[in-house]
Amino acid sequence: MTTLQKGDLAPNFTSKDQDGITHTLADYKGKKLVVFFYPKASTPGCTAEACDLRDNYARFQANNYALLGVSADNAKAQSNFKNKYEFPFPLLADEDKAVIQAFGVWGPKKFMGKEYDGIHRTTFIIDENGIIQEVISDVKTKAHTSQILK
């Protein structure tokens, strides 16, 4: 699991979003960045989480936050997810798991008694200078905004 913690420098990632546009950590310098990792596009928990962030997007913008969703889904799945729910933020299609591994959110999980490797639902709040301000690993999907914007 993640060894990154508050005070650490965020990993300098580069990845493409649902439209093939490249995003890097440097693109967000001067803004606060919320990077939320979710297991799979269009599943109930991930939809609830992303919709909560979408519904509060104006509050994030008012506080100088940018949002970036990340999963190992391909660009088409991310694009469908984004379009269906009209998310105003990009979703990275991290198929090679480079960003997921860099943030340390890939690892063993348990679901209905089965163990498997997957993405741990984790959110990183990164400040204007690329320093991690908070790591949220106990994500409340329906009330995630209030966990971030306290």
- Positions annotated as catalytic residues are 46
Q: Residue 3's CB: how many other CB atoms inside 10 A?
A: 7
Beta strands in the chain (DSSP E): 14-16, 22-24, 32-37, 65-71, 91-93, 106-111, 114-119, 122-126, 132-136
Q: Determine the number of helices (DSSP H) and then strands (DSSP E) in the chain.
A: 5, 9
Q: How far is 16 from 67, CA to CA, in rounded Å?
A: 14
Cα–Cα distances in angstroms (integers) from residue 57 to residues 23, 26, 78, 86, 94, in the given order: 19, 22, 18, 11, 23
CA dihedral 39, 81, 14, 150 (to 10 degrees): -70
